[in-house]
Amino acid sequence: MFSNKEVLETIAMVEKEHLDIRTITMGISLLGCIRDSAEETARKVYDLVCKKAENIVKTASDLSAEYGIPIVNKRVSVTPVSLLCAAFPEKAPLIGKALDDAAATLGIDFLGGYSALVHKATADYERKFIETIPEVLASTSRLCSSVNVGSTKSGINMEAVKMLGETFKQAALLTKDKDGIGAAKLVAFCNAVEDNPFMAGAFHGVGEADTVINVGVSGPGVVKHALEQIPDADLTEAAEMIKRTAFKITRAGQLVAKEAAKRLNGQFGIVDLSLAPTPAMGDSVAMILEELGVEVVGGHGTTAALAMLNDAVNKGGVMASSRVGGRSGACIPVAEEIGMIKAAEKGAITLDKLEAMTCVCSVGLDMIAIPGDTPATTIAAMIADEAAIGMINNKTTAVRIIPAPGKTVGDEVSFGGLLGRAPIMPVHACDSSRLINRGGNIPAPIHSFKN
C-alpha cells in the first residue's frame, strides 16, 4: 500500500512538475486495405482508420480523468504507405489525403506513416513514392512522413540519403509561407523502430499486430525536480535518483497503456519513456543537464551528463514496464525546448555538439532550423553522418532538419503550438557534394555479422 507522502508526491508531479502521458498512439495495420486502384484503397484506408480509432480521444480523456494524469496527445500510426501503393506509387498522395482527412475526423493532431523503408536499396516504387513526399506534406496538415535510409544490418543506402537531402529542401520550399513547416513533419531514420509512439517518426511496422496501443511517457520536469532535492550528491547518487524517478513515471505509462489497450480493443504494445521536452518553462532536458552541473547546455561535459541521464532513464524504465520499446531515452529537439533555444541563441550549442550528443541519447538532429540556402547535398551529408552514428552504435538515429526558406543565421522560425520556435543555426560552408554524388552503399559494419 502507498503512503500519504507518495500520494502527495504524485499530485505535485502533475501540478508543479509537468508529469504527463505524452501520447497514446494507436498503431493500425493497413495491409488489408490494398485494392486494385488507388481510389478504392484510399477509401478503405479512411474507413478503417476512422473505425478503429473512433474512441481514441474519448478513451484518453476518460483515463486522464480517472487517474488524474494529463494525456496530452492522441495519435495514430499506420503501415508504411509506400507498401500500400507499390502498384500505383504516383497516386500515393490520394492515400496521404485520405489519412489526413481521417485524422481530422478523429480530432487528432498528427498521424504518422507516410513512410518508406529503403535501408538496403530503393525499389522503383519506393523512389516514385519518396518523390511525392514534399507535395503531400505541403497539401496536408496532420500527416507525418519518415524514411529509413540505413540500418546496422544492411548499411546505409546513399542513393536514398541523397534523395532525402533534396526531399527536405523541397518540403521546406513548398511550405515557404509557413517557415518551411513541411520539413518539420519529415524524418530520415537509421535503424527505425516499428513501435515508436512519438511523432513525426511514428509508423506501424509490418511485424506488428493488427491494432496496437503504444504509449509515450515523459517528464523532464519531474526528473529535474528530483535532482534539485540532492544538489550536492555525487553522480552515482544522481544516477540512482534519475533511475527511481524514471521507474515511477514509466509505471504510470504502463498502467495507462494496458487500460487503453483494453478499452480500445487493441494489443498492448510498448511503453516508450522518452524525456521529451515541451515549450513549458521547467519541462526541459537541457535544464536537467544544467542541474547536473553544466553551466549552459553545449558546454564541455554535456555529452557525459547526457549519457548518464539517458542510461539511467532506460534502466528505470526497463524495470518498470513489461515491454519497453520505441526509442526510449532523452530527446533533444532544439525547437520545442526552451533550454536548447536559449543555448542556441547564445551560441553555446552548435550542430557539431548536438551531433556528438546524439551518439549517447535516443534521437538525432531533431527540429533544427538551418539557413534556407543550405545545399541539398549538405543536408544529405548531415543525414549520412547521423545514419553512420546509428549504424555503428546499433541505435536509432534520426534527422529532422528545416532549411528555412529565405532565412539565415540570426533569424528564427516559428511554427506555433507544439512545434515551437527555433533560431537558425549555422552549418559548415564546405562542400560535401562529391561524397554524396558518389552514391552506392556504405556497407554494413563488421559487427553486423553475428550469426
Interface contacts to other proteins, rule CB under 8 A:
1-4, 6-11, 15, 61-62, 65-69, 248-249, 251-252, 254-255
Cell match 538515429: residue?
397
**Minimum CB–partner distance for residue 309 and other proteins (Å):** 20
Residue 322 burial (10 A CB sphere; 0-12, 13-18, 19+): exposed
Give whichever of 8 and 280 is closer to other proteins, judged by the CB atom. Answer: 8
Give whichever of 45 and 252 is closer to other proteins, judged by the CB atom. Answer: 252
What gap in Å lies between CA 175 and CA 269, rounded to an integer?
35
- Beta strands 365-371 and 329-330 are unpaired
What gap in Å lies between CA 218 and CA 442, rounded to an integer?
35
**Minimum CB–partner distance for residue 54 and other proteins (Å):** 18
Give whichever of 65 and 87 is closer to other proteins, judged by the CB atom. Answer: 65
The DSSP symbol for 42 reads H
Give whichever of 35 and 251 is closer to other proteins, judged by the CB atom. Answer: 251
**Minimum CB–partner distance for residue 1 and other proteins (Å):** 8
The DSSP symbol for 33 reads G
**Minimum CB–partner distance for residue 3 and other proteins (Å):** 8
Query: CA end-to-end span of the chain, whole Å?
Result: 47
**Minimum CB–partner distance for residue 440 and other proteins (Å):** 50
What gap in Å lies between CA 251 and CA 124, rounded to an integer?
45
**What sections of 334-432 are H helices per DSSP?**
338-346, 351-357, 376-392
**Minimum CB–partner distance for residue 247 and other proteins (Å):** 8
Give whichever of 168 and 247 is closer to other proteins, judged by the CB atom. Answer: 247
Q: Kind and range of the H or E element at 65?
A: helix 56-67
What gap in Å lies between CA 299 and CA 137, rounded to an integer?
36
**Minimum CB–partner distance for residue 137 and other proteins (Å):** 36
**Minimum CB–partner distance for residue 243 and other proteins (Å):** 13
Give whichever of 61 and 265 is closer to other proteins, judged by the CB atom. Answer: 61
**Minimum CB–partner distance for residue 323 and other proteins (Å):** 15
Q: Which three cell numbers stand for residue 105?
A: 475526423
Contacts of 248 (CB under 8 A, 6+ apart): 13, 222, 320
Give whichever of 143 and 252 is closer to other proteins, judged by the CB atom. Answer: 252
Give whichever of 1 and 430 is closer to other proteins, judged by the CB atom. Answer: 1
Identity of the amino acid at 77: S
Q: Are 329 and 318 in contact (CB under 8 A)?
A: no
Give whichever of 4 and 451 is closer to other proteins, judged by the CB atom. Answer: 4
Closest residue by Cα to residue 188 from 389, 446, 417, 415: 389
Cell match 551529408: residue?
381
**Minimum CB–partner distance for residue 237 and other proteins (Å):** 20
Closest residue by Cα to residue 362 from 225, 238, 193: 193
Q: Is the dihedral of CA 112, 117, 118, 120 positive or negative?
A: positive
Give whichever of 16 and 346 is closer to other proteins, judged by the CB atom. Answer: 16
Closest residue by Cα to residue 134 from 83, 197, 76, 92: 92
**Minimum CB–partner distance for residue 15 and other proteins (Å):** 8
Identity of the amino acid at 170: Q
Give whichever of 8 and 230 is closer to other proteins, judged by the CB atom. Answer: 8
What gap in Å lies between CA 75 and CA 438, rounded to an integer?
39
